[in-house]
Amino acid sequence: MPFLPPPSLSRPFTALLSRLPSRCAVCRAWPSLPVCDACVARFAPPAARCGGCALPVPVGVTRCGDCVKHPSPLDTCLAACTYAWPWPDAIAAFKFRGDAGWAGPFATLLRSAPWVEPALEQCDIVLPMPLAPARLRERGFNQALELARRLSPAKTDATLLLRTRDTPAQSGLARADRLRNLSGAFAVEPLRADKLRGSRIVLVDDVMTSGASLFAAAQALRLAGASHITAVVLARTDPPR
C-alpha cells in the first residue's frame, strides 16, 4: 500500500514532492521538473492572442472579430497555452484526480507567459474563479485557488468573489445563451465590496472554453467598481475548424 500523509500534512507534502527531481511527464527526461523546459518551449510557445478573449489571432491583430462586435468585459485576457496535447491529461490529473502537485508547475508555466508577470505586479487583488459549493465538495479543492496562491499568495483573496449557483452544461449553447445561462451566477461578498472600488484585478482560472464564466464574473466585478480586470488562464481551447 502506498504511503499516504495525514490530511494536515498533505498540502506541504505534495508541494515538496513537486520540487523533487522527477521524469518530465511529456518526454520522460530524467532528472527533470514535472514538465521540462524543452517541452514547455515546444508545447507552450508564446503566441499572438486576442486581448479580449485569448483566442489565437494573426500577428499584429489585437482583437478578434467577435470581440470587436461584442466587446469583452475583460480589459486583458492572457493564456499560457492552447488546450491541446500534452496539457489536457496533466490538467485532468490536477483538476479531477486531486493531484495538487501540478499547481506549482502550472503556476510557473503561467508566469512564463508574456505579460502575466507585469499583470501580477501591477494588480491590487488576485481572485480565483470560485466553484459552486457542490462542485467544491466533489473535488475537495478549487484548482483556480491553488494556482492563484502560487502566483501571488500575498494578493490572493479566496472569499471576495462568490459563486452563487451552479449552472447547466454550457456545451452546444450559442454565445448569447451561454451568457444568459450564467447571469447572476457570480457575486461580490457584500460586506467587503468596498475593497474592489478602483482596484486592478487579476482573475485566475485553469481552462477557458467559451469565456462565458470569466465574462460573467468580470461583469460582477465591474458592477462592484473594479477599474481594470485581467484574466489569466492556464489553457485556452481553440474554436473548432
pLDDT score at 151:
97
Q: Which pLDDT score, from 0 to 100, does residue 175 have?
A: 60
Looking at residue 14, its pLDDT comes to 42
The C-alpha cell at 72 is: 469583452
pLDDT band at residue 120 under the 50/70/90 scheme: very high
Report the candidate in 190, 59, 189 with the shortest Cα–Cα distance to residue 114. 59
Q: How far apart are alpha carbons 7 and 40 in whole angstroms? A: 32
Residue 60 per-residue DSSP state: T
User: For 57-75, what is the mean pLDDT?
Assistant: 94
d(CA 234, CA 144): 10
Phi-psi domain of 211 (left: phi exceeds 0; alpha: psi -120 through 50; beta: other): left
Q: Confidence class of residue 133 from pLDDT cuts 50, 70 and 90?
A: confident
Distance CA 125, CA 151 (A): 12
* Each residue's pLDDT tens digit, 144-197: 999 999 999 999 999 999 998 776 555 555 566 666 677 778 999 999 999 999
C-alpha distance across the termini of the chain, in Å: 46
Task: Report the Cα 231 to chain-centroid distance in Å.
Answer: 8
Instruction: Provide the b/e sequence for 105-129 (b: ≥16 CB within 10 Å).
Output: bbbbbbeebeebeebbeebbbbbbb
> Which among 14-18, 99-103, 173-177 has the top mean pLDDT?
99-103
pLDDT top residue among 134 and 221: 221
In degrees, to the nearest 5, what angle opens at C-alpha 100 toward C-alphas 76 and 87? 55
Give pLDDT, residue 69: 93
Over residues 225-240, the pLDDT tens digits come to: 999 999 999 999 987 5
Could you tell me which of 36, 72, 37, 22 has the C-alpha nearest to residue 51?
Answer: 72
- pLDDT tens string 20-57: 557 888 898 887 678 888 999 999 999 999 999 999 99
pLDDT of 10 over the 50 cut: no
Its pTM stands at 0.85
